[in-house]
Amino acid sequence: MDIVAKIKAKATEYRQYTAECLAEMVKIPSVSCEEEAVVLKIKELLENAGVRNVRIDGLGNLIARVGNGPKILAIDAHIDTVDTGDESQWDTPPFSGLIKDGWVHGRGTVDQEGGAASMIAAARILTEMNYDGDYSVYFTFTVMEEDCDGMCWEYLINEENLKPDFAVITEPTNLGLYRGHRGRMEMELWYKGLSAHGSAPERGRNVIYSGSKVALKIEELNERLKTDEFLGKGTIAPTLFRTVSPSLCAIPDQARMHIDRRLTWGETKESAVGELEAICGDDVTIEVPEYDRPGYKGTVYKIEKYFPTWKIEENHPLVQAGKKTYKSLFNETPRIDKWTFSTNGVSICGRHKIPCIGFGPGNEVYAHAPNEKVPVEHLEKAAAFYALLPFILAADETG
């Protein structure tokens, strides 16, 4: 039996196992900075699958390695989730992990513990095949992505010295092959006014008026931002406006406006800040905030909330290897596309220029939504893809 047939057969054999691994994860609430219990469960699942090189780093990421080749392929899933929202909108309890009618149900099944479950199955397949190819395959189960995408990989690269040659992000792609997405950044606009009694507003300088004028200019700015043929248009939107005043009978003299900025190709932190500076007055200070929340191990790893745009070209060897892997397994050409949202790729490829592709189970329309669910078929196919890719990469490189 050749490698492709063997991997397909094993992925099919472990179809229910992969779904059950996911169900076990979903049953454990794991919002950002509270992932310890699910990390320990994944560690147990990997060790029970025979994976010997498993460890937890100083931030709380779980790192498993199969093989000992000179090159590094990293396959990544973040295992934190957003919260449930209004649970009355869920048809099944969000932490049920219910497996029914070919689907696994619950929070995190799509975003993105489904990818993690397929990675566990792939690690088991490679371990049982005694994989000893050209790649050390690192399966990374990362934390705090929902809070601060990419920060976990800043830690892995800068502190753990894990620097892959290639990476696969297992966020949901509906089994498409993705090669980039827009970047993003957060900005805070701080307004300084002058308070006065509400009965004599002319004596003060009302920050609500200042903020409103800037908000209307931001609306106009959004319409003229750059666009990219592949990634689409940059966007900017105020998402919070909060004022401070001595009382409800006083003119507010302080305000904060939070800005969500999505960056297309060619847009940078400097260009985005410059555009705001051009439309804000002297009474506004612009800041790019830092993320400084401690993880479940108590570690604080500060990072500026700027997450660079990234893409690789369709003719890149990694994209071509992904296409060949997909076609070898499923006898068809994959859909090549991009994410609408942001991923850990902002660090891996955006900051560190390590080539990335995306391939993951589930449809992103279920991400952060009630009634999240993933097809078991997707889990099986993703496991086969992750297990076969290092073989295809090595074969392509040797000709």
Q: Which residues are part of the catalytic machinery? A: 80, 145
Strand 62-66 vs strand 71-78: parallel, antiparallel, or unpaired?
Answer: unpaired
Helix (H, G, I), strand (E, B) or coil at 231: coil
148 by DSSP, 3-state: which? coil
Q: What share of the chain is helix, strand, coil (3-state, %, to 5)?
A: 35, 25, 40
Half-sphere exposure of 110 (CA within 13 A, CB side): 21
Query: Cα(61)–Cα(142) distance, rounded to whole angstroms?
Result: 5
- CB atoms inside a 10 Å sphere around CB 31: 16
Residue 80: HSE in the Cβ half-sphere, 13 Å Cα cutoff? 24
Task: Give, in order, the Cα–Cα distances in Å from 149 to each of 26, 81, 325.
Answer: 21, 12, 27
CA 320 to chain centre: 23
Q: Which two tokens stand for residue 211?
A: 């903020």
